[in-house]
């Protein structure tokens, strides 16, 4: 057994101590955490220190990694005992991170392939999270079998988020992972989504298959794949298959458009880096507003927000129409006529922020129309007038993207920031038009 595996095993064992809260109560759990913290503070060298230490801990001979991890767990424990976070979410989160790390280290004994390591982490983390939730619910006398779909949904969502954060951060940043996963699962638990076992299994199978396909086709990096999988899973469970179809249409068509005349775009210097594989920042920049709209829809549908659910539906489709329009206009328009700056209409070099071509604008309009057609076919709330609103929102968002590119990108905003503000603009335009012409 290698040192990383031994260390991961010890951390997993320490994470198992979180069961003290449902077994013996918060006071015993706090006492256990205090003992672990005291031990982490007084151990400054020797074999046990070497077993538990992260590389950065050696500088000050202090187990900062373990200390911060326990403090993060204590913070979640306080939310579970003093706020409305379910204790099952707290235990599931701690076990998810601890055992997921152990699963990844065990996989590393056989292979160092990035996808296999991610799969090892996610599977082990999800199983541990489900087990932690089930044990906690059983000890509290709550139903376990009937709650299995929601437990699996929470576990899978947390595993994907944890794997994403670990890919983006350092392994010693597990406290950040613990807090982020715990807060996400708390939010999802509050939304109380209703989903059957079959529907959940289908959603998981489809999202994982699409995620791996995007990575295999080199349209997404590991982080981009994980981000997309998490977004698609949340969208499918909280929104439904119609929302899933709209979101996936953007990922599929947008990803393929990146490959359109890629060699020519490379020669012009306007091609996406990493052979066109999009990272988490690009995916979130284009889909973060859509995710917020999905969460808003679920919260409104559950009675947690005093707004009409269909407003969030139009915000969602307006943001996706913007993302589709902007992606197609950039990826297709960049290989045609010399672009002109949108603010002055003067010719500029290919790849200049804010540069547009008529071919790109036409492709963007087609992209918004595709989203509108899909939405019209899937959502009764979207009639002919609704489709027009979605197209108008997509065009407006695409134009905002170009204007921001010509004025603020590079000096004030990065590409992801521009994408986020553009999709936000598309969502707001869509909602305003619905309020004015449909609900008004």
Kindly report the average pLDDT of the chain as a whole number. Answer: 89
Number of H helices, E strands in the chain: 18, 2
pLDDT digits (tens, 9 = 90+) for 148-169: 999 999 999 999 999 998 887 7
pLDDT digits (tens, 9 = 90+) for 23-40: 999 999 999 999 999 998
pLDDT digits (tens, 9 = 90+) for 83-119: 889 999 999 999 999 999 999 999 999 888 889 999 9
The answer to whether 318 and 434 have CB atoms below 8 angstroms apart is: no
* Neighbouring residues of 410: CB distance < 8 A, sequence distance ≥ 6: 353
Whole-number pLDDT of residue 372: 96
Residue percentage of the chain with pLDDT more than 70: 94
pLDDT digits (tens, 9 = 90+) for 265-298: 666 665 555 555 566 778 888 889 999 999 999 9
* Neighbouring residues of 87: CB distance < 8 A, sequence distance ≥ 6: 21, 22, 80, 81, 136, 140
Going by pLDDT thresholds of 50, 70 and 90, the confidence category of residue 332 is confident
The lowest-confidence range among 48-57, 85-94, 124-133, 215-224 is 215-224
Q: How far apart are CA 350 and CA 9, in angstroms?
A: 53
Higher pLDDT, 425 or 228: 425
Q: How far apart are CA 118 and CA 281, in angstroms?
A: 19
Residue 347, phi then psi, degrees to nearest 5: -60, 140
pLDDT (mean) for 174-200: 91
């Amino acid at each position: 057994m290698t040192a990383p595996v031994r260390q991961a095993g010890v951390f997993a064992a320490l994470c198992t101590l979180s069961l003290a809260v449902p077994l013996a109560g918060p006071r015993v759990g706090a006492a256990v955490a205090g003992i672990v913290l005291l031990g982490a503070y007084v151990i400054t060298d020797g074999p046990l220190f070497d077993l538990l230490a992260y590389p950065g801990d050696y500088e000050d001979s202090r187990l900062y990694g373990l200390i911060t991890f326990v403090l993060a767990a204590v913070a979640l424990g306080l939310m579970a005992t003093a706020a409305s976070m379910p204790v099952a979410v707290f235990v599931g989160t701690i076990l998810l991170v601890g055992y997921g790390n152990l699963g990844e280290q065990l996989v590393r004994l056989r292979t160092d392939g990035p996808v296999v390591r991610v799969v090892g982490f996610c599977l082990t983390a999800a199983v541990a999270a489900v087990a932690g939730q089930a044990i906690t619910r059983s000890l509290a006398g709550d139903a376990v079998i009937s709650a299995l779909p929601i437990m699996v949904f929470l576990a899978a969502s947390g595993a994907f988020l944890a794997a994403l954060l670990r890919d983006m951060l350092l392994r010693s940043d597990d406290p950040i992972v613990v807090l982020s996963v715990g807060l996400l699962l708390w939010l999802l638990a509050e939304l109380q989504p209703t989903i059957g076992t079959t529907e959940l299994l289908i959603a998981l199978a489809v999202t994982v298959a699409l995620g791996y396909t995007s990575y295999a086709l080199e349209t997404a990096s590991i982080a981009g794949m994980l981000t997309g999988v998490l977004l698609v899973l949340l969208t499918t469970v909280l929104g439904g298959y119609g929302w899933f179809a709209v979101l996936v249409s953007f990922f599929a068509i947008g990803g393929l458009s990146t490959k359109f005349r890629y060699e020519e775009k490379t020669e012009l210097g306007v091609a996406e880096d990493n052979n066109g594989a999009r990272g988490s920042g690009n995916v979130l920049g284009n889909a973060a507003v859509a995710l917020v709209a999905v969460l808003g829809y679920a919260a409104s549908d559950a009675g947690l927000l005093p707004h009409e659910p269909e407003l969030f539906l139009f915000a969602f489709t307006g943001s996706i129409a913007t993302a589709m329009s902007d992606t197609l206009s950039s990826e297709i328009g960049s290989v045609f006529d010399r672009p002109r700056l949108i603010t002055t209409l003067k010719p500029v070099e290919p790849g200049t922020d804010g540069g547009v071509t008529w071919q790109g604008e036409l492709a963007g309009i087609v992209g918004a129309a595709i989203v509108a057609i899909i939405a019209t076919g899937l959502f009764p709330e979207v009639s002919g007038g609704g489709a027009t609103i979605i197209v108008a929102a997509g065009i407006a968002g695409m134009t905002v993207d170009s204007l921001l590119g010509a004025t603020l990108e590079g000096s004030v905003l990065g590409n992801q920031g521009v994408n986020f503000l553009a999709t936000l603009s598309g969502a707001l335009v869509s909602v305003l038009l619905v309020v004015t012409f449909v609900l008004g």
